């Protein structure tokens, strides 16, 4: 082994990096700052030829101004992410040990965020993705189509779970909803805020649990939902500052977003400080969640199914739900990994043969285009989807 290390081979460098990562716990802020510094270095490389080109004073002056604006935008992003990735520490328990946290959370209006099992790394926890999802989920430049989609999901929860005679809900018992792969928690929040004002619930409590594997995402959720426990009030970001291509004007790359809008911190006293809705988050996987067999009334997956082994995920969701419980899914069929990639036709068969009954229109494609992000003044329309949608009841 020593001879391999001394050789300086690529394998040795990979091994050394792996050992460092295993022996030294990764820090979300440090990882973000390191990535930010790399982006700033890339800005210098991008504009490095400005002083060596033939004399074009107006062009050179304009490009140097543009460079400085890009640099300032990236510094702003670095500062905002450092703040968002540094939530106030709250009491933590084991992955299933919620009792003490429940009491503390109710007393201090704290949303429980458990990091056990989460990890840094991966594309989703990168600075660019965090900034883009902050703009999509919690900022003033959020595409309005996402509000429409969330309204459809919430409407389906109400008609198939709350108003339906086949619902597993029992009078006096809280409603339990799980949102796997919840990202930065906006769908979790929208569901809770809508259900808490629904007159059909007759003051029933609502428990909503979002799961997310990314440590960085959980940190930001913690900062947003528990902003009342720390100095954080708002963020200001430039979500596309690293995108040097397809900018029709400087405003495309320098687009400015602020938030959070709406603000998810508790505004009034009550369960979890939110009058009847208790939010919580963790890094639990579906495989871990199904250990709590038949305890969940509703599972909502949004842009999640194609990120997993779809067949195994269907089985896990079935195990999580009570008989009569409802699974609502929305997302593309852009399977991320090699393996089975069923079309909607085969997917419907897998859902039904796993013990579900497809409701209403079965698996169908939404008519409205859904932009994942909206970059202004871009010469390229990026990531616009026409996802599938369905609701299914566990038999």
The average pLDDT across 115-139 equals 87
Q: How confident is the model at residue 315 (pLDDT cuts 50, 70, 90)?
A: very high
Q: What pLDDT does residue 224 have?
A: 94
Q: How confident is the model at residue 122 (pLDDT cuts 50, 70, 90)?
A: low
> Is the per-residue pLDDT at 347 higher than 60?
yes
Q: What pLDDT does residue 17 have?
A: 44
- 47-51, 124-128, 154-158: least confident range: 124-128
Q: What pLDDT does residue 202 have?
A: 62
CA atoms within 13 A on the CB side of 274: 29
> Is the per-residue pLDDT at 303 higher than 70?
yes
The tens digit of pLDDT for each residue in 281-291 reads 999 888 888 77
Q: What pLDDT does residue 291 have?
A: 76
Q: What pLDDT does residue 125 have?
A: 81
Q: What pLDDT does residue 124 have?
A: 72
- What angle, 0 to 180 degrees and rounded to 10, lies between the N-to-C axes of helices 215-225 and 127-138? 40
Cα-flanking dihedrals φ and ψ of residue 215, to 5°? Answer: -60, -40
Is the CB of residue 372 less than 8 Å from the CB of residue 383? yes
The average pLDDT across 296-323 equals 94
> Is the per-residue pLDDT at 141 higher than 60?
yes
The average pLDDT across 301-305 equals 97
- What angle, 0 to 180 degrees and rounded to 10, lies between the N-to-C axes of helices 144-157 and 186-195? 50
How much of the chain exceeds pLDDT 70, in percent? 83
> Is the per-residue pLDDT at 37 higher than 70?
yes
**Which of 184, 150, 197 is closest to 260 using CA atoms?**
184
> Is the per-residue pLDDT at 44 higher than 90?
yes
Q: How confident is the model at residue 73 (pLDDT cuts 50, 70, 90)?
A: very high
> Is the per-residue pLDDT at 170 higher than 60?
yes
Cα–Cα distance measured from residue 14 to residue 134, given in angstroms and rounded to the nearest whole number:
32
User: What pTM does this model have?
Assistant: 0.88
**Which of 293, 288, 360 is closest to 329 using CA atoms?**
360
Which residues are CB-contacts of 179 (< 8 A; sequence separation ≥ 6)?
187, 188, 191, 208, 209, 210, 211, 299, 300, 301, 302
Is the CB of residue 131 less than 8 Å from the CB of residue 258? no
Q: What is the mean pLDDT of the chain?
A: 85
Residue 310 CA: distances (Å) to CA of 286, 295, 336, 354? 12, 22, 11, 12
The average pLDDT across 41-60 equals 93
Residue 340 CA: distances (Å) to CA of 162, 219, 321, 354? 34, 33, 24, 16
The tens digit of pLDDT for each residue in 269-283 reads 444 445 678 899 999
SS3 243: coil
Q: What is the tally of helices (H) and strands (E) in the chain? A: 13, 13
The tens digit of pLDDT for each residue in 236-261 reads 999 999 999 999 999 999 999 999 99
The average pLDDT across 205-215 equals 92
Residue 56 CA: distances (Å) to CA of 53, 244, 248, 264, 276? 8, 21, 21, 50, 64
Q: What pLDDT does residue 24 have?
A: 39
């Amino acid at each position: 082994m020593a001879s391999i290390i001394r050789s300086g081979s690529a394998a040795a460098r990979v091994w050394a990096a792996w050992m460092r990562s295993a022996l030294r716990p990764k820090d979300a802020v440090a990882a973000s700052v390191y990535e930010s510094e790399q982006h700033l270095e890339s800005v210098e490389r991008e504009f490095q030829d400005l002083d060596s080109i033939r004399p074009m004073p107006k062009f050179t002056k304009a490009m140097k101004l543009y460079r400085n604006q890009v640099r300032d935008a990236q510094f702003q992003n670095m500062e905002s992410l450092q703040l968002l990735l540094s939530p106030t520490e709250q009491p933590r328990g084991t992955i299933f040990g919620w009792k003490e946290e429940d009491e503390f959370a109710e007393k201090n209006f704290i949303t429980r965020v458990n990091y056990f099992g989460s990890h840094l790394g991966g594309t989703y926890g990168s600075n660019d993705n965090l900034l883009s999802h902050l703009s999509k989920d919690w900022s003033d430049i959020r595409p309005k189509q996402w509000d429409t989609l969330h309204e459809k999901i919430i409407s389906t929860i109400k008609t198939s779970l709350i108003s339906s005679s086949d619902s597993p809900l029992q009078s006096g018992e809280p409603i339990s909803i799980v949102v796997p792969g919840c990202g930065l928690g906006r769908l979790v929040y929208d569901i809770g805020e809508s259900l808490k004002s629904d007159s059909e619930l007759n003051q029933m409590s609502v428990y909503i649990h979002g799961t997310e594997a990314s440590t960085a995402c959980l940190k930001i959720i913690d900062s947003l939902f528990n902003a009342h426990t720390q100095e954080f009030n708002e963020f200001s970001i430039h979500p596309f500052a690293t995108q040097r291509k397809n900018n029709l004007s400087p405003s495309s790359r320098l687009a400015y977003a602020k938030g959070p809008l709406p603000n998810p911190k508790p505004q009034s006293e009550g369960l979890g400080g939110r009058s009847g809705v208790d939010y919580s988050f963790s890094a639990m996987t579906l495989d871990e969640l199904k250990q709590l067999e038949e305890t969940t009334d509703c599972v909502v997956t949004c842009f999640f199914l194609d990120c997993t082994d779809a067949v195994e995920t269907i089985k896990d969701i079935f195990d999580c739900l009570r008989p009569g419980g409802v699974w609502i899914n929305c997302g593309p069929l852009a399977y991320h990994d090699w393996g089975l990639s069923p079309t909607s036709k085969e997917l419907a068969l897998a859902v039904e043969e796993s013990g579900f009954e497809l409701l209403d229109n079965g698996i169908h494609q939404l008519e409205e285009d859904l932009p994942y992000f909206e970059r202004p003044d871009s010469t390229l329309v990026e990531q616009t989807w026409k996802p599938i949608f369905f609701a299914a009841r566990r038999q």
